[in-house]
Structure 1
Amino acid sequence: MKNSALIVVDYSNDFVAENGKLTCGLPGQQIENYIVERIEAYNNKQSDIFFMMDLHYEENKYHPESKLFPPHNIIGTPGRELYGKVNDLYQNILFNDHVHYLDKTRYDSFCGTSLDLMLRERNIQHLEIVGVCTDICILHTAISAYNLGYAMTISHRGVASFNPSGHNWALEHFKNSLGAEVE
């Protein structure tokens, strides 16, 4: 895992919990244990872990998603907290210097964030990406990672979506168009 980082994308209550504002529901819940395993593996080796979290504000008419999706991941709400066991684990490791939490305001974890700079400072060349939604935020993050020259691993056990056909299409796209290792 040297020169590799784990990127955990949008694994929040609003995207995963049964009552989440934009939940992928059961598919998102079913990847929880795998994500916990991957976080533990990276943490045990003190390898970098980046929690990338969607950030929205109440009634922001200027955000492009406001026309596409209901309000979700609103700052200061329980919906924006990490989901379940992932949140419990995060609370136990958050003060380690290899654990990072970055807000993002677009699908892409690189857009408008310091993610690329932080990865390059640490000489990270490979990313393992987990989280939700496969065909939205995971997809846009993976495309940027590819364009920035990162190698990637994306496991079907670590990503989920509320759209099964979009999920399957994205997995094929990661492998066939972005050269990612898809497990």
Structure 2
Amino acid sequence: MESKAVKDFMTLYNVKEEDLITPTRFSGEKEFIDSVEKDYNTDKHWAFEIKKEECALLVIDMEEDFVNPEGKLFIPQAKRMVPRLKKVIEACRELGVPVIYPTHTIAEDVSADFYEYWEPIKDGAIKEGTPGTKVYSELAPLANERIIDAKHAYCSFAGTDLDYVLRNLGVKTIIISGTLTNFCCESTARSGYFLNYHVVFGSDINATDSALAHEATLRTMRRGFARVMSGEEIIDSLKNGDTLYNEAIETRNRLTV
């Protein structure tokens, strides 16, 4: 009996039974599809250990225009997740984990093609110097918390001093939170990985405008970029040690004996 993953694959790509190929590593393409599907849903908690003294929390684009219901680019799920994100921010503050706020701003001379893809931005959303670019009031940064407010691209590293700030703080692991999951948050996670940071991607402290797009990002992160964890799991790892890592290592060791 064909699995749902195989059926979905064949439907999406309009592949018929006779079109299936036999990859060298597998008895058939159906086995290959099921193996890959399992990998997309397997958390690689053994990849690295979370050590609170090496971490920083990135709160990406949680701005008035995105989170406030009256904002010009309002994302309902971003507003809905604020209580969960606040708990993670508060835990980081309590433990001395730096909290950094990259905020997306657009002006005429740094607009790239944003005006073509996003009508609200063309109409003034997240315009540089406007109240809509401020961090959402319920998540207001403390006086000693860094705001990266010259972010003009999806990626929080592109054209900003974020990498310098993180390295100066001795950060080796970045915890990704914010909005939109599949744009600025995913872009930042990818670049962070390319810069040799360990990446933790919050499953329920990132938000976007499409549940399907959110899940697609989590699958990609899990497969090859990041440890995907809930806000509560992140808090527990910071406060009590990385039990998920330890359990994953023990399991792998048992399986390889």
The TM-score normalised by the length of structure 1 is: 0.88
Kindly tell me: are residues 10 and 43 of structure 1, through their superposed partners in 2, closer, same or farther at Cα, counting changes over 3 Å? same
Tell me the secondary structure at the aligned position of residue 176 of structure 2.
Answer: strand
Greater per-residue helix proportion: 2
**How far, CA to CA, are the matches of 1:119 and 1:179 in structure 2?**
18
**How far, CA to CA, are the matches of 1:45 and 1:85 in structure 2?**
20
Identity %: 26
**How far, CA to CA, are the matches of 2:74 and 2:206 in structure 1?**
13
Q: Which residue of the partner structure matches residue 181 of structure 2?
A: 134
Q: Which residue of the partner structure matches residue 59 of structure 2?
A: 8
Instruction: Select between 61-70 and 147-156 the one with higher mean Cα deviation.
Output: 61-70
Q: 2:103 aligns with which of 36, 50, 53?
A: 53
**How far, CA to CA, are the matches of 2:227 and 2:95 in structure 1?**
23
2:172 is the alignment partner of 1:125: yes
Post-superposition shift, 1:81? 1.7
**How far, CA to CA, are the matches of 1:165 and 1:30 in structure 2?**
17
Post-superposition shift, 1:152? 1.5
Q: Which residue of the partner structure matches residue 79 of structure 1?
A: 132
C-alpha RMSD of matched pairs (Å): 1.6
Q: From the CA coordinates, give the structure whose radius of gyration is larger.
A: 2
Post-superposition shift, 1:160? 0.5
Kindly tell me: are residues 115 and 61 of structure 1, through their superposed partners in 2, closer, same or farther at Cα, counting changes over 3 Å? closer
Gaps of 5+ in 1: none
2:55, 2:175 within 8 Å by CA — same for their partners in 1?
yes
**How far, CA to CA, are the matches of 2:81 and 2:216 in structure 1?**
18
2:56, 2:97 within 8 Å by CA — same for their partners in 1?
yes
Q: Which residue of the partner structure matches residue 157 of structure 1?
A: 204
Aligned length in residues: 174
Tell me the secondary structure at the aligned position of residue 92 of structure 2.
Answer: helix
Q: 1:100 aligns with which of 146, 149, 156?
A: 146
Q: Which residue of the partner structure matches residue 68 of structure 2?
A: 17
1:9, 1:53 within 8 Å by CA — same for their partners in 2?
yes
Structure 1 stretches of 4+ moved >4 Å:
59-62
Post-superposition shift, 1:75? 2.2
